[in-house]
Structure 1
Amino acid sequence: MSRQKTSSQPGLALHGADELSSVRVQSYNLEIRSEDGFLGDKANRAAFFEILEELRRELRKQDADPIEIPTDDLSRKKIDALLTRGDLREASLIHSAIETFAQRLASVTRRFLRIKSWSDASRIVVGGGFRQSRVGELAIGRAGILLQAEGRAIELVPIRNDPDEAGLIGCAHLAPSWIFEAFDSILAVDIGGTNIRAGVVQLNQKNASDLSKAKVWKYELWKHAEEDPLRDEAIDRLCGMLEDLIGLAKKKRKLAPFIGIGCPGVILEDGSIDRGAQNLPGNWHSSRFNLAAAIRERIPAIGDHDTMIVIHNDAVVQGLSETPFMQDVAQWGALTIGTGLGNASFRNRTKQA
């Protein structure tokens, strides 16, 4: 189960806090076991490719595989092309993989809905890299249909923002209220098992005080999985990305002395990571490593102010990007399909009519 944090002051920025300005984080990073491993492994990105390869393996026994490219060489774009522009058999094969994956995703969702912190959720947003493809969108939509056809009052919908940007935009909801009074932008970081993104999020509070108009002004992407760096090398590269962004924003934005970070794992109050970051480069769980301290040492100040850093779980942060659009429900959840299957559940602090 997740480790949850408490704060007696709603809106006070703490690492891994469960009380935020607009929502209470009910749970996150739940590690649910099934008979043959962790439940999340049944509905992550690798699971889809395993399903597709298993179908192709059976077809190859009859010399009937319609796809020439090896499964390991199929990118999201190539799979989408087979779905939308392939011949009948190519498209049918992709649809078959989508259907099997959707059934798994529906099964995983049912298990989450049996948990107390998820049981009252009426909507689940699905993010992560898999959602960026048409294949991912269809799998999410089909899983939602399967659940509703059982009579469940639950919506399963793709996350509104591009997942590349949702993990950055959500960081704005980690910032303390004083940030919004004097600044128009923040620095945000989305750390994943494959990529690390750093960006400047433009808050646009004059257009919408609820951050529904927040958008990414600039961002940098590093595909660290292709380079297999050491942990300290990854931190050094990340800080370099942040320094570049600070330089770009210096004359064009009122940049707050704040860095919001979404990171896999259970985030402790001191900014260290308890568990769940096994897909990151190196050992991020070490008692001698503190993510917030490592970044603050390199970037002690932004402008004339000391740097403030707030870290939360990456699925929580992606989910937070949806907060302004969830005011018609009381409780909701977020799943992120990528290297792993991230999860978080929320209850709104106030429910608008």
Structure 2
Amino acid sequence: MLERPVSTNSFAHGAAELPSVVVNGYGLEFKEKGKYAGERANRRAFFDALTDLSRLAPAPDSAFTQKRAPAFSKRELERILAKGVPADAAVVLGAIEVFSESLASVIARFLKHKSWAGAERIIVGGGLSHGRLGALVTHRTKLLLHAQKIAVDLVPIRYHPDEAALIGAGHLMPSWVLDGHDAMIAIDIGGTNIRVGVVRLRLDQAPDLSRAAVWKSTVWRHADESPARQKTVDRMVRMVKRLAGLAAREGFKVAPLIGVGCPGVITHDGSIDRGGQNLPGGNWESERFNLAAALAKGFPHIGEHQTSVIIHNDAVVQGLSEVPFCRDTKRWAVVTIGTGLGNASFDNRAKP
């Protein structure tokens, strides 16, 4: 279990002390019933439960006889809950119950760890958290925890998870770095997709970034192509160049830095120490590969200035999007339900 990131420099990769929060830890992992936490409460675990339940007593007119459970989108499952035959709706509700029990068990274990102890609020993010399906999972998990006398508040992430993973990058650096700029570029690297976006900062409206929003973004589903590592980096650079060009033509003054959220343990020099096994092409943890340096080399300048790249764990970055809205707590945390189960815990720093 990683209890604290390596660096304590507030303007460094994988820093523990960020401008608004202290990152107590991220990537907590443990085994329970023969499975790691990330395997028991990730997207695949939900669809495994859905598959198992759909096979128990299939109705003649069941949607699950026409299509495999993992092929359903969240929107389709929500439609089944609202308008589907009762037998199918029962299957979806059953999967929510099974998954929520697993998630509650994992969170209860996290809260026993010293980096999570005393957390007042837990943000539930990641792809599975969005929409009515995600809200049902979040609130059912909260009820299960309260039944165990664990009085923690669980809330769905405020932004769409795809946007939260980009907006959170603005909290990786001190506000003075962003002063005088309209926007910044952010990258979210996941085990299935890579998303690049231009984040409008709106610092004149809200210096705490509470009004920040994604202006434009583009996504690449690399899982369909299984590219090599260098081709993945090259593709990211092309995505950045395209969006930076669009932002410049729009008249935005883009900050000369790129904020990146990436799976794994991020070291102070911008390399990945461990946990990058789901990234395309493999070998992202090689001593001869540095993600920050590779991105800066591919896109060396933004406007007239040299490009700086700042990287942190992807769950940390997604959680940071909630910083302006968690000022009423002392300690809070985030779980992100996706290809894996990302997690991070924070203590608010004194407001400057």
Give the TM-score band, short-chain normalised: over 0.9
**How far is the alpha carbon of 1:344 from its aligned partner?**
0.2
> Quick check: 1:237 aligned with 2:196?
no
2:64 match: 67
TM-score, normalisation: structure 2: 0.95
2:128 match: 130
Mapped to 1, the partners of 2:69 and 2:151 lie a distance apart of 36
Task: Give CA deviations for 1:253-309 in whole Å, capped at 9, x if unaligned.
Answer: 010101000000000011000111111102211111110011111111111111111
**How far is the alpha carbon of 1:176 from its aligned partner?**
3.0
**Cα distance, 1:268–1:306 mapped onto 2, change above 3 Å:** same
**How far is the alpha carbon of 1:32 from its aligned partner?**
1.7
2:264 match: 265
Paired residues for 1:10-49 under 5 Å: 12-49=10-47
> Out of 182, 185, 188, which is 1:184 matched to?
182
Mapped to 1, the partners of 2:17 and 2:344 lie a distance apart of 13
* Contact 2:27/2:344 (<8 A) preserved: yes
1:54 match: 52
**How far is the alpha carbon of 1:145 from its aligned partner?**
1.3
1:6 match: 7
Mapped to 1, the partners of 2:314 and 2:63 lie a distance apart of 38
Aligned residue identity for 1:267: I
**How far is the alpha carbon of 1:50 from its aligned partner?**
0.6
1:276 match: 275
**How far is the alpha carbon of 1:182 from its aligned partner?**
2.0
Mapped to 2, the partners of 1:108 and 1:65 lie a distance apart of 32
Paired residues for 1:87-166 under 5 Å: 87-166=85-164
1:331 match: 331
Task: Give CA deviations for 1:239-266 in whole Å, capped at 9, x if unaligned.
Answer: 0000001101113201010100000000
Q: Paired residues, what number?
A: 348
Mapped to 2, the partners of 1:325 and 1:24 lie a distance apart of 16
State which drifts further: 68-77 or 247-256.
Answer: 68-77
Runs of 5+ in structure 2 lacking a partner?
A: none
**How far is the alpha carbon of 1:64 from its aligned partner?**
9.4
Mapped to 1, the partners of 2:341 and 2:297 lie a distance apart of 31
Paired residues for 1:312-331 under 5 Å: 312-331=312-331
Aligned residue identity for 1:106: A
Mapped to 2, the partners of 1:180 and 1:281 lie a distance apart of 31
Mapped to 1, the partners of 2:17 and 2:316 lie a distance apart of 12
Mapped to 1, the partners of 2:22 and 2:203 lie a distance apart of 22
The sequence identity of aligned pairs, in percent, is 50
* Contact 2:62/2:85 (<8 A) preserved: no
State which drifts further: 229-238 or 131-140.
Answer: 131-140
1:297 match: 297
Mapped to 2, the partners of 1:47 and 1:65 lie a distance apart of 22
* Contact 1:167/1:190 (<8 A) preserved: yes
**How far is the alpha carbon of 1:63 from its aligned partner?**
7.5
Mapped to 2, the partners of 1:328 and 1:177 lie a distance apart of 21
State which drifts further: 333-342 or 98-107.
Answer: 98-107
2:64 aligned counterpart, secondary structure: coil
* Contact 2:41/2:341 (<8 A) preserved: yes
TM-score, normalisation: structure 1: 0.95
State which drifts further: 80-89 or 22-31.
Answer: 80-89
CA RMSD of aligned residues (A): 1.7
1:222 match: 220
1:196 match: 194
1:59 aligned counterpart, secondary structure: coil
Aligned residue identity for 2:107: T
**How far is the alpha carbon of 1:351 from its aligned partner?**
6.5
* Contact 1:125/1:156 (<8 A) preserved: yes
Mapped to 2, the partners of 1:296 and 1:175 lie a distance apart of 17
* Contact 1:329/1:351 (<8 A) preserved: no
Runs of 5+ in structure 1 lacking a partner?
A: none
